[in-house]
Structure 1
């Protein structure tokens, strides 16, 4: 083989090797350009989805200076009986069977107001003193009719005795009898007129021309039940009529809690079901009652019915007008479950997360799957283990730190 032929073959082989090397480099560059975004996306996904299985759980470290002014409270993840419940919003109202709107039975002017808002009163307690010209006239007519009746009665009895002894004539006897019956009718009419405006038999018997030095036109407005004055609409010197509501008295030893039960939950809600009530005014405290009434009519706007709960309120802590959260207990469906407080669960990028305390200031972010929920707890399907400690108060602050890290890392 000649030297020129050998040189040509060597040159061809070198060209093949050089071409292969260039192709390899090109493919390598293409691979790196394709794979690097995937690795970046994976890193961001781990940061957005804390606690996913593609990497180690994300940890947050809060330095002492960042904890100043913040309150952190924790609670254990535990296994406990978990009841099936139906959550509902509710409003507290007075017990309307123990509620009275008071107004006078006759027009009168207010001359003294004795009751104040919030005052506890008993049945018969004088709330206000009023002056009525019409009442004064009716009492005067009653006293006059009473006097005429008593005089005519005595005259009739005397004439009857004389007539039986044939001392007086029949005409005089019949005239006396007629006057007596006429005065009796007038007396009964005057008596009934007083009853119609609300005076009791005891009040009527006590009417006299000198009634404790007060004019006949004075009369008291009294409470009809034991309770508290929750509304007062009258002022001194005001002229009020039977159409005006002067006072509202409510017995708040029991209150009504009106639940909004959605249409889809009607099959599970029954009269007599136990209900637990929580209000913002008393966090961590539960008030209990039972459903005593279910409305027969569905609200077409909200698609709910009213369920009424009566609950004892001996210390008057539940106030009419308060908003409440209610949990209707579904009987016979209790089961043990792994639970965590709802206060420990936060939503981050449409995912539920919890912050597990490893040590004070260091928290591990866990993605959590929640199945059933009650007003205070959620049933944990995955993401947490029994005995771990999660942050409740302060979890929202940790969520804000996590979101800032995501924005900074993006």
Structure 2
């Protein structure tokens, strides 16, 4: 390697060392400002609205979320004693003394009784400065109670009533010599001749009947008549056997043309009676649990403005469509004038029973985490408490909930996800679960922390949490 190359290597190493020293010098203040220190009485402190454990004696930005620190009176903080220390990246692990986190290369953060997330009789609480809440655009709504009318609004499509479909088929082999119905959509009446079929087998049976009558043999007459009944043919001998319509309706399928050869059992055409039709309604899974047959339904069609069709739920299908997460319900509507055509779409409203004294909140207030359903209750002085609820029916942007809420309380409907994230970071849900268990078992104290284990590392107390080794500092 040449002297010039060695010189370049030395210069690069020196520059890297200088840059590393400068970075360590600039980052050191930020690492230490994670640890809240007592302030002089009567002074001020700058803290983060989302992370109150961050305190410093001059303005700046939060080292955790980057928000601008806000000014706060430091007198209460000067007298406060930490409840415990924790790693912001592992908030479920608690430590009795300050020091460096055994998980991350950062100082442990103290937890004070007046910080967000402290336990109160109402449950875990997160505190946000009112000015910050206003800047974040947080909105609340009042918890209501009263009568809730169960109602589902969905889209439905008109379909043929499958109980009013008839298939016309050939009973014997032959040829279609005359076809009186020429196209799909033709209307027919019950008893109308649809086609003339030349069937040698039918003609032979008719001639046998005539010959038996001539002989006067009752046995032969009876046998010939039975054969004609099986062939669904008349008793008079004629070249063309008339095929008649079994019902009034519309031709929805035409399978043959004039001159075609047919075999026994071959379908010739399909008829549908449209005087009554079905409306297949796709009901969301979350609104299908209270559906049942007999409920009143109203259907409106854009192509028929101002007209409301009333019917009732005829059947609720037992299967769920896994692709759309909907349950199909069937509504029967009268269609005497034929205005409803299969394939038309309509807006369907199905009315259920009324729920009395139902507690309701805006649907957007409910946070669905996958493991539980939570709403954020807004309390006084910028305090917010997560409350677990059980969701029920929903309609028009409102949802019925049970458990944990009272009428008149305020729940957050905008910005609640920020509070939920902060509560999760501080382990608020863990303490909320412990408080609920303690309330459910009077006289028994439920401590989420396991028994302390001796810690031989200097500068630390006992670690708490599911992982006992997590409490030991290196």
- TM-score (structure 2 length as normaliser): 0.42
Q: Which has the higher contact order (CA 8 A, sep 6+)?
A: 1
- TM-score (structure 1 length as normaliser): 0.48
Is the strand fraction higher in 1 or 2?
Answer: 2
Higher-Rg member (1/2): 1
